[in-house]
């Protein structure tokens, strides 16, 4: 660069000025300019006289010279376990046998061991968090994901928009059979808690900084419940005056706890806004499998606590003859519980009472599981009442009487109160599989907003907590929400192709800019050694 500028200038008096200008371009100074002039004169005298980079003069690390040493240390660190230290290398190299084997006159220092840790691809950082694995590949969870959740989403996907990585809608071919007049909008629901003292803990710290007092504990908490979609972002009216967002201060002496009643009220608010402002779209709510979302009616069918035979006089079975029930008020305003019999089952399109009918010697008494199944035509000879702890080995369909009744369609497909409430208003609802937060794009919205929240000034005041939380939530760009949505659907595509959780995570990361995975994804996983047995 310097010699080119000098030749182009044609002025020998610019020799020094041009060398300095070249050095400044590289953010260097007078010393570098002087070196440039020296190197250039040497090159003009001998065209083979080129300056060597410092890397060519460095001494190689012992790990580079002795691959066997690098392998030995790596194996030693693996044997230590999860919490390895640079000091483990120091101790390993201090062994007399290793000093003789590798020609060391003295043990290595701790700082040298820290350098070697980097050569061995270790970094001092926080442990990365991945998706949940406890139960992620459990047989019943996988069965629900593959046979119920993914097919339900696939049915709606034909009417839903898809997005590119830049947030623009994927255009449809002219001959596409997908209707364009009424689109499906997925609304992902979730709750998350923000804490007043949740702030960044890792940063570049100058050596002159001193320790400063900090607030103890997590501080005040604020729970946020909301819905988000790739089309509209957070659920609110077009003018922003109405919002489905709920702010809740959880705790015994605060707002209490977010119960099923609050969930129903939240869903009602969302339905009201969507019905009024977005009536031309078909809205589908997606909830996770939290117990507050799955509550069923007090008289809903359940085989979990049923007795095998009819109940005995004076010994009612809790959950069958004594169903805990609606708290009501009597004339004096006192609250009490009343008993509610379990609802009728359905078999071959006809109702089936679980209690002996009027006119029977034991009218009104619970029939027992054996009688209910016998009426449905099952032969129960040799079947136990229940597998130990009702932990049937998968694939369990008819291993015991309780499991057989548990899998009957009318017992298995009982609607939750939330489903009944939403569908009565014309809104569909889908429940996510357990342990599958990667399929709920609102989870990443929480992560984005919490990162923004941690960058805000620290404060213990609840007013600041609420203001900062709202600002952090509203800072998420719509294009980012659409990328989160695409990522969730990329995981769904992976599971449809038969990938397990680990394989899906690898594929989603590698093809992060794609809406779907390539057709040869299984071959790629085999080449990488990521098998379904991992």
Residue 346, burial from CB neighbour count under 10 angstroms (0-12, 13-18, 19+): middle
What CA–CA distance (Å, rounded) separates 223 from 129?
A: 22
Confidence of residue 368 (pLDDT cuts 50, 70, 90): very high
Which pLDDT value is given to residue 318? 58
Neighbours of 50 (CB within 10 A): 10
Which pLDDT value is given to residue 263? 96
DSSP-derived letter for residue 291 is: G
Q: Do the Cβ atoms of 370 and 308 come closer than 8 Å? A: yes
| 6 cis-preceded (ω within 30 degrees of 0) | no
Whether the per-residue pLDDT at 11 is higher than 90: the answer is no
pTM of the model: 0.72
Sketch out the chain's domains with CATH numbers: 2-57 (no CATH), 62-119 (no CATH), 139-169+182-198+218-294+417-528 (3.30.420.10), 327-412 (no CATH)
pLDDT, tens digit, 9 for 90 and up, residues 434-490: 999 999 999 999 999 999 999 998 888 999 999 999 999 999 999 999 999 999 999
What CA–CA distance (Å, rounded) separates 383 from 420?
A: 35
What CA–CA distance (Å, rounded) separates 185 from 284?
A: 6
Whether the per-residue pLDDT at 515 is higher than 90: the answer is no
DSSP-derived letter for residue 186 is: E
pLDDT, tens digit, 9 for 90 and up, residues 47-104: 767 676 554 455 667 888 888 898 899 889 888 888 889 999 999 999 999 999 888 8
Closest CA to 339 of 352, 329, 326: 326
At CA 154, angle to CA 437 and CA 405, rounded to 5?
Answer: 75
pLDDT, tens digit, 9 for 90 and up, residues 201-235: 777 676 787 887 878 888 999 999 999 999 999 99
β-partners of residue 282 are 184
Q: Which residue has the higher pLDDT, 319 or 501?
A: 501
β-partners of residue 335 are 329
Confidence of residue 384 (pLDDT cuts 50, 70, 90): very high
pLDDT, tens digit, 9 for 90 and up, residues 250-297: 988 888 889 999 999 999 999 999 999 999 999 999 999 999 999 998
Could you tell me the sign of the dihedral formed by the alpha carbons of 456, 459, 460, 463, in that order? negative
Q: Helices 2-9 and 15-25 meet at what angle, rounded to 10?
A: 140
DSSP letter string, 438-474: GG-THHHHHHHHHHHHHTSPP---HHHHHHHHHHHHT
Neighbours of 514 (CB within 10 A): 14
Closest CA to 215 of 460, 457, 464, 461: 460
What CA–CA distance (Å, rounded) separates 255 from 4?
A: 74
Whether the per-residue pLDDT at 328 is higher than 60: the answer is no
Of the CA atoms within 13 Å of residue 446, those in its CB half-sphere come to 19
Exposed e or buried b for every residue in 456-481, given b needs 16+ CB within 10 A? eeebeeeeebbebbbebbeebeeeeb
Q: Do the Cβ atoms of 222 and 249 come closer than 8 Å? A: yes
Closest CA to 368 of 385, 343, 346, 351: 385
Which pLDDT value is given to residue 416? 95
Confidence of residue 128 (pLDDT cuts 50, 70, 90): low
Q: What is the mean pLDDT of the chain?
A: 86
Neighbours of 95 (CB within 10 A): 11
Neighbours of 491 (CB within 10 A): 21
What CA–CA distance (Å, rounded) separates 451 from 432?
A: 25
């Amino acid at each position: 660069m310097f010699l080119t500028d000098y030749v182009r200038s044609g002025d020998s008096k610019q020799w020094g000025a041009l060398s300095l200008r070249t050095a400044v371009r590289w953010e260097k100074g007078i010393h570098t300019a002087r070196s440039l002039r020296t190197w250039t004169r040497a090159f003009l005298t001998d065209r083979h006289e080129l300056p060597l980079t410092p890397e060519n003069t460095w001494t190689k690390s012992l790990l580079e010279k002795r691959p066997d040493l690098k392998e030995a240390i790596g194996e030693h660190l693996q044997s230590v376990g999860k919490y390895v230290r640079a000091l483990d290398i120091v101790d390993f190299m201090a062994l007399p046998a290793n000093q003789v084997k590798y020609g060391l006159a003295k043990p290595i220092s701790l700082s040298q061991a820290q350098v070697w840790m980097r050569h061995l691809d270790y970094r001092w950082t926080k442990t990365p968090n991945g998706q949940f694995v406890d139960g992620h590949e459990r047989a019943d969870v996988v069965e629900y994901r593959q046979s119920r959740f993914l097919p339900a989403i696939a049915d709606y996907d034909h009417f839903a928009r898809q997005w590119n990585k830049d947030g623009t809608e994927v255009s449809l071919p002219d001959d596409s059979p997908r209707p364009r007049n009424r689109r499906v909008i997925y609304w992902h629901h979730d709750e998350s808690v923000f804490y007043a003292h949740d702030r960044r803990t890792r940063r570049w710290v100058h050596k002159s900084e001193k320790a400063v007092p900090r607030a103890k504990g997590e501080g005040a908490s604020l729970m946020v419940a909301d819905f988000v979609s790739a089309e509209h972002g957070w659920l609110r009216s077009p003018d922003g005056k109405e919002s489905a967002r709920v702010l809740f201060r959880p705790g015994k002496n605060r707002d209490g706890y977010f119960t099923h009643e609050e969930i129903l009220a939240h869903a009602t608010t969302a339905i009201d806004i969507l019905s009024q402002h977005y009536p031309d779209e078909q809205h589908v709510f997606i909830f996770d499998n939290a117990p507050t979302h799955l509550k069923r009616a007090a008289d809903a069918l359940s085989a979990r606590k049923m007795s095998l035979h009819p109940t005995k006089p004076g010994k009612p079975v809790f959950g069958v003859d004594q169903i805990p029930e609606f708290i009501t008020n009597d004339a004096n305003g006192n609250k009490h519980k009343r008993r509610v019999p379990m609802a009728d089952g359905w078999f071959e399109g006809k109702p089936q009472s679980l209690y002996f009918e009027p006119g029977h010697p034991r009218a009104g008494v619970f029939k027992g599981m054996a009688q209910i199944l016998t009426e449905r035509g099952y032969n129960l000879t040799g079947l136990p009442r229940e597998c130990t702890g009702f932990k049937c080995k998968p694939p369990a369909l008819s291993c015991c009487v309780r499991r057989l009744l548990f899998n009957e369609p009318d017992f298995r497909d009982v609607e939750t109160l939330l489903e009944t409430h939403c569908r009565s208003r014309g809104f569909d609802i889908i429940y996510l599989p357990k342990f599958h937060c990667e399929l709920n794009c609102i989870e990443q919205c929480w992560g984005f907003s919490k990162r923004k929240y941690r960058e805000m000034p620290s404060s213990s005041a609840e007013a600041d907590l609420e203001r900062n939380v709202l600002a952090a939530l509203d800072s998420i760009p719509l294009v980012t929400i659409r990328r989160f949505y695409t990522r969730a659907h990329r995981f769904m595509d992976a599971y449809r192709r038969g990938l397990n959780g680990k394989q899906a995570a690898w594929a989603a990361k590698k093809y992060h800019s794609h809406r779907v995975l390539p057709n040869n994804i299984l071959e790629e996983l085999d080449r990488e050694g990521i098998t379904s047995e991992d």
